[in-house]
Structure 1
């Protein structure tokens, strides 16, 4: 349907016969030209592009009215204690006036302000216009600068011209059909930056029904909420989400699309100003349209990606309003140590999430997970004995406590099976040898059947740390306690405090311990405690906030 649309072109004639042209009610368009015909033709082209994107009600609001050009003159007194400005200056501003019902409107192009006045107060309009102009000069700090006032007085005259041109207007039915019809020309941004998990062959997960049910309840409630999975690294946060996706029909989520992405993928290739923000808006629109659930991975990464010297806002802060309103449903994860950091950097971000704490499985549940994985491996013709699983569980609970259970033991079994493709059965000996290769710990520490020769150990240390027989004996006694499994569970294997003057062998004893336990004297981390003499340095060391 074609409609004849009318706009009012406002042209300010400046110095050197240059022109500054704009359209009334279209403040987003401003054209600097020397030819008025060319400027007006450019206005029409730009207005057409804008009208193509506007709804009908906004098109009606921007239709032009009958206008009159006037001017307002007044004198402005100099500011107090001004050195170069002593006398009042006369100012003249060109105005554009029109009426809508019983309201008179005045637009001042050089200042970019509009003034409203009721019809009954029309007699007081000139005084009100001057008052509002003076107020704007004060707000913009132009009233105290002759340079700025001179710049505002560049307009020699103001011209208007009513321009009419045809535009195509869609009927309400055409608009509805356009919204329903999928846009085949616009590529899917989710396909570009994400992975569609519904079609992915996700790995099986065991003993997580309770945690998955909590996650499903949050996503399928009356008002779906974004979820933050809080747990140690390796406890199975990602696996829990994958289990939900794999068994989504069980939790009434059959028709829900699940996508996985990350902050790094969102900003990949986005080098220009505002590019990643535009991509994030496209992700929000497409996710909302599909009623999909996004998995973002680590929340700390999402907070930091996108920040720069000129931009303090990360992706997480950008998405926060949509998360709070429920327009965007995501699942993210973090560790308990990262929660204070998140709260410190963005206090309101955590309010957008429902937190679900994921605890490591207890002894029985952990062994049940390993047994379930072993049974699954048996279907692939790889047999793992129960004794081997028990040894594997003991070794990881004692010597690999730096990673939460059960992530590391499961990765250990998977890597062991892939490293021994031709071996169809794994026993205790295979577990001991593989764990020793991976950690560097000697077999006489891990395997009860391999004896620890205390005499040979004493000789080994005495040859390297000469003249410290008492210290050597204490170290060997502690190693014997480790071998006999008399040390405390869930604690460091041993803690030593070597005391003595410089040069007696304290550092050398530590290097010998590293070489004895890990076959490499460089397997140690050394901290110069003189660098941690103030509380802030200590916080950096221990990860405080």
Structure 2
């Protein structure tokens, strides 16, 4: 009787809609039954289908009957996209939907979700799949196939973004310079992403030769083919993981979400750390071991970059990687080629920032980078110096970039005084000697030795690949050895914090060499001298009581001193 009353055209469709989707299950059933008798009943098909999870148990029966009776029916899977976990345990709901699917199949309707899954949270797909499996119907199997296909192509950016980051086009992309020498390697690397199975890529080269820029250029090429780059390292994966199993769960889900089928490339900036991390009392496999099967099968496409030494170390840890990774080796650029790259960068910066670069600025950047940052780091060291100078100039009122601006940037970067860095400026060795003598009294010979090394640095006669100076201060306690080292750090680098002091009495065992060069294994180089110097190369290293160190430690140090 209620259904007959609601089927009357005198009752507005809005009223019927309120009853159909209301909380009173009896009136909801009556309203849904009435919709099938109304001429305008089809207008509510979308609302009923999308809001299926709000319906009472028996209202679902009338809703499915209503949807099946429409001339223009919504997608078969649309009401199923609202499935909850408890549906799979309810025999009535299972029966309702089996009959629904049989009726839709009899009408030759296609098994599709339409656009309904796009509105469904990713966390709900498990409940949908579980319910479809319980239905045990041919049309349900077809919907499961569509669900799996959609899951393979959909990236859960919320999950991946919770610990990693996605590469995207930025304003700095226009400053990327595509080197002619890289063309062939870029073509080969691009082809590797299109093979079946795909080939993961490692870019090998000394620091600042352009490894990251190479990958950014490659990413720009592949972006047009729909590929996205996701970046996460070992520290990112382990962040916030407290309990056994948490890390393993995140790794496995990352493998699923960063799959090749979703056109995602996983950039790992520190793959050597992955080979050293992730093991604990309940897990013998490192993070790298856990993702290795996915790399081998081609389900995961990984990009990474390493130095040649770390590449050798990585292959020593995991020889299986030798045949899995496509290796691109980048060599440092010579002075002439770096000058051409710097000129190209300056022209782009001038267009972008309206800054005017004086001719001497590029030469100052090249000579400074070569002398103070090492020739093995070209072109990156010179390019970075130009970029930092342009950034400082754009924040100030100066529209011209001169050699002096480059020197000022280098001074800020290294801590070295402008007077030493600027070839156009003379220094007074007498003033420097007076500065030291005022702090270290009565040690004229030692002070003169330090001042002579500073004079050689100013003249550019030092080897960029070696320490500025190696000095042995011999004397009893309290004569000023440590104070002279502190004063040198303060004068050259602006602060006594640039002094790295090692108590060599703690290096008396042969195993102490690991404190200098790192152990090369699971412990890494975090606390070693070499790691501290890499972190801040412009420092004074004080080897206190060096005579007490083990001969093996001294032999390692002598390789640097020579």
Q: Same fold (TM over 0.5)?
A: yes
8 A contact 1:218–1:224 mirrored in 2: yes
1:215 and 2:181 aligned: no
Alignment-derived partner of residue 226 in structure 1: 200
Q: Structure 1: how far apart are the matches of 2:343 and 2:158? A: 37
Cα separation, partners in 2 of 1:167 and 1:375, compared to 1, 3 Å: closer
Q: 1:357 aligns with which of 319, 325, 329?
A: 329
8 A contact 2:205–2:329 mirrored in 1: yes
Q: Structure 1: how far apart are the matches of 2:494 and 2:167? A: 44
What are the residue-to-residue correspondences of 1:132-281 with 2, within 5 Å? 168-171=135-138, 175-176=141-142, 178-180=144-146, 183=150, 188-190=155-157, 192-194=159-161, 195-197=165-167, 203=173, 204-209=175-180, 210=182, 211-221=185-195, 223-248=197-222, 254-266=225-237, 273-281=244-252
Cα separation, partners in 2 of 1:467 and 1:412, compared to 1, 3 Å: same
8 A contact 2:230–2:265 mirrored in 1: yes
8 A contact 1:231–1:358 mirrored in 2: yes
Q: 1:330 aligns with which of 286, 302, 309?
A: 302
Alignment-derived partner of residue 14 in structure 1: none
Return the offset for 1:295: 1.7
Alignment-derived partner of residue 292 in structure 2: 320
1:413 and 2:386 aligned: yes
Q: 2:472 aligns with which of 462, 476, 497?
A: 497
8 A contact 1:207–1:369 mirrored in 2: no
Tell me the TM-score normalized by structure 2: 0.59
8 A contact 1:441–1:518 mirrored in 2: yes
* Matched position secondary structure for 1:473: helix
8 A contact 2:375–2:464 mirrored in 1: no
Cα separation, partners in 2 of 1:449 and 1:347, compared to 1, 3 Å: same
Which runs of 5 or more residues in structure 1 are unaligned? 1-43, 48-165
Which runs of 5 or more residues in structure 2 are unaligned? 1-87, 92-132, 521-562
* Matched position secondary structure for 1:477: helix
Return the offset for 1:439: 1.9
Q: Structure 1: how far apart are the matches of 2:170 and 2:410? A: 32
Return the offset for 1:319: 1.0
Cα separation, partners in 2 of 1:390 and 1:326, compared to 1, 3 Å: same
* Matched position secondary structure for 1:487: coil
Return the offset for 1:385: 2.1
Q: Structure 1: how far apart are the matches of 2:372 and 2:508? A: 31
8 A contact 1:397–1:490 mirrored in 2: no
Q: 1:388 aligns with which of 350, 361, 367?
A: 361
8 A contact 1:303–1:317 mirrored in 2: yes
Listed one character per residue, the Cα deviations across residues 52-71 of structure 1 (whole Å, up to 9, x for unaligned) are: xxxxxxxxxxxxxxxxxxxx
Alignment-derived partner of residue 475 in structure 1: 450
1:520 and 2:495 aligned: yes
* Matched position secondary structure for 1:450: coil
Q: Structure 2: how far apart are the matches of 1:46 and 1:534? A: 70
* Matched position secondary structure for 2:328: strand
Listed one character per residue, the Cα deviations across residues 395-448 of structure 1 (whole Å, up to 9, x for unaligned) are: 122123499444444444333333332322110111222222332211221112
Return the offset for 1:378: 0.5
Q: Structure 2: how far apart are the matches of 1:185 and 1:231? A: 35
Cα separation, partners in 2 of 1:485 and 1:408, compared to 1, 3 Å: closer
Return the offset for 1:299: 0.5
Q: Structure 1: how far apart are the matches of 2:500 and 2:377? A: 22
For the aligned residues, what is the CA RMSD? 3.6
Alignment-derived partner of residue 5 in structure 1: none
Return the offset for 1:177: 5.3
* Matched position secondary structure for 1:356: strand
8 A contact 2:203–2:211 mirrored in 1: yes
Alignment-derived partner of residue 303 in structure 1: 275
* Matched position secondary structure for 1:526: strand
Cα separation, partners in 2 of 1:453 and 1:271, compared to 1, 3 Å: closer
8 A contact 1:371–1:389 mirrored in 2: yes
1:451 and 2:426 aligned: yes
Whose strand fraction is larger, Structure 1's or Structure 2's? Answer: 1
Tell me the TM-score normalized by structure 1: 0.61
* Matched position secondary structure for 2:502: coil
Return the offset for 1:373: 1.7
Cα separation, partners in 2 of 1:288 and 1:472, compared to 1, 3 Å: closer
Alignment-derived partner of residue 79 in structure 2: none
Q: Structure 2: how far apart are the matches of 1:461 and 1:185? A: 68
Q: Structure 1: how far apart are the matches of 2:345 and 2:378? A: 14
Cα separation, partners in 2 of 1:187 and 1:324, compared to 1, 3 Å: closer
Q: 1:293 aligns with which of 242, 265, 268?
A: 265
Per chain length, whose mean CA-contact separation is higher, i.e. which structure has more relative contact order (CA < 8 Å, sep 6+)? 1
User: For this pair of structures, how many residues does the alignment match?
Assistant: 382
Return the offset for 1:383: 1.8
Q: Structure 1: how far apart are the matches of 2:230 and 2:447? A: 58
Q: Structure 1: how far apart are the matches of 2:441 and 2:152? A: 79
Return the offset for 1:244: 0.8
Return the offset for 1:255: 4.0
Q: Which protein shows a greater Rg?
A: 1
What are the residue-to-residue correspondences of 1:370-389 with 2, within 5 Å? 370-380=342-352, 381-389=354-362
